[in-house]
Amino acid sequence: MLYNFLHTKRLLVWVRFKDVVITNASKPSLFSSIICKAMSRCHK
């Protein structure tokens, strides 16, 4: 029961995150700057 609740919550967060990514994709400059920051953080 608790596991299902946590799993559903994580799915909702993931869906919301994807929505944010999709809406940011319509603003290419902001989106690419976020990607650049994420990439540089990963490569460090």
Q: Please state the φ and ψ torsions of residue 27, each to the nearest 5 degrees.
A: -115, 80
Q: How far apart are CA 4 and CA 37, in angstroms?
A: 34
> How open is the CA angle 16-17-22, to the nearest 5 degrees?
95
The domain segmentation of the chain, as residue ranges, is 1-42
Q: What is the pLDDT of residues 13-26, one digit of tens each?
A: 888 888 887 776 66
Q: How far apart are CA 38 and CA 1, in angstroms?
A: 35
Q: What is the pLDDT of residue 5?
A: 81
Top pLDDT among 1 and 5 is at 5
Top pLDDT among 19 and 39 is at 19
Q: What is the pLDDT of residue 42?
A: 62
- H or E element at residue 44: none
Closest C-alpha to 23, from 9, 11, 34, 12: 34
pTM: 0.38
pLDDT mean across residues, the chain = 75
